[in-house]
């Protein structure tokens, strides 16, 4: 028999309910004789084949998100429920390797194997141990990594919030600005080119002339001077945007700023409409 003690009856009850629903299929018996501890009756074979994988799953799939939330609340002092959930979602996407654009942060690969190996070196029949102490001392490296991912997620969250504020400011500017042109055409392949309503390419000199210098001074870091600044300054009534890469960051930014003014078209539409030869 193994006995795992927890810091509270609530934690023990949560683990008991989670494990009891899975233990029967593995030939193990789970009881809760003491308020804050769970007893598991299992032989060495069941421990290796079933209990260790189940404990690893409990740690990486159930407890991991709770630990990240605890780190955010107790070490970085976030309290807003929506903020906590957003940062948690970002940290999970980073760990899963879904955000490859964040420097110096890679996906959390091999964590299940690490936890299983640590459990395998520790758990044996007849053992009584504290779950909290096991996590603190045996999984300290794992917990340190969770903190690193939480930190990266916080930075990413702050950047996203700044980006959204920036987009909102540009939206308000465009709404208040009288359009300098009824429509423009923006063509994208390797780079972006801006054409007026007659499909005549606007030169760098023309784009600099229409660009609002005050806009550049207010947002020197964020705004792209070659494309976004002149587009926002012109505040055209319609933007025909031609690209075969709709997920490109700048294309999404243009759509976010100008919203319903943007008509996204494939590259070939530009050649068909403008009668230009590629």
Q: What averages of pLDDT result for each successive group of 10 residues across the chain (278 residues)?
A: 94 94 84 92 91 95 97 97 97 91 84 94 94 96 96 95 92 95 95 95 94 80 84 97 95 97 96 79
For the whole model, what pTM was predicted?
0.82
User: Counting beta carbons within 10 angstroms of the beta carbon of residue 95, is it exposed (0 to 12), middle (13 to 18) or buried (19 or more)?
Assistant: buried
Report pLDDT for 153: 96
Phi and psi (nearest 5°) for 9?
-65, -35
User: Which pLDDT belongs to residue 221?
Assistant: 55
| Element housing 195 (H / E) | strand 192-195
Residues 6+ apart with CB under 8 A from 171: 256, 257, 259
pLDDT score of 137: 96
Residue 215's pLDDT is what?
83
């Amino acid at each position: 028999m193994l006995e795992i003690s927890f810091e509270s009856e609530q934690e023990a009850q949560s683990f008991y309910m989670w494990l009891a629903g899975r233990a029967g299929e593995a030939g193990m018996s789970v009881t809760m004789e003491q308020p804050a501890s769970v007893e598991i009756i299992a032989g060495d074979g069941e421990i290796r084949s079933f209990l260790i994988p189940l404990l690893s799953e409990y740690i990486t799939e159930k407890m991991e998100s709770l630990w990240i939330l605890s780190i955010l609340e107790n070490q970085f002092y976030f309290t807003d429920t929506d903020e906590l959930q957003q940062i948690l979602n970002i940290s999970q996407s980073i760990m899963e390797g879904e955000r490859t654009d964040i420097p110096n942060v890679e996906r959390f690969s091999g964590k299940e194997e690490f936890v299983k190996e640590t459990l395998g070196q520790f758990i044996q029949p007849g053992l009584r141990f504290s779950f909290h102490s096991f996590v603190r001392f045996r999984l300290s490296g794992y917990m340190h990594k969770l903190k690193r991912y939480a930190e990266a997620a916080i930075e990413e969250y702050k950047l996203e919030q700044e980006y959204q504020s920036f987009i909102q400011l540009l939206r308000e500017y465009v709404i208040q600005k009288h359009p300098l042109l009824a429509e423009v055409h923006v063509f994208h392949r390797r780079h972006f080119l801006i054409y007026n309503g007659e499909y005549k390419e606007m030169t760098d000199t023309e784009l600099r002339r229409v660009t609002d210098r005050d806009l550049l001074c207010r947002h020197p870091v964020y705004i792209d001077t070659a494309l976004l600044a002149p587009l926002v300054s012109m505040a055209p009534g319609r933007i025909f945007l031609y690209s075969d890469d709709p997920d490109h960051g700048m294309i999404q930014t243009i759509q976010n700023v100008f919203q319903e003014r943007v008509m996204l078209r494939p590259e070939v539409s530009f050649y068909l409409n403008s009668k230009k030869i590629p």
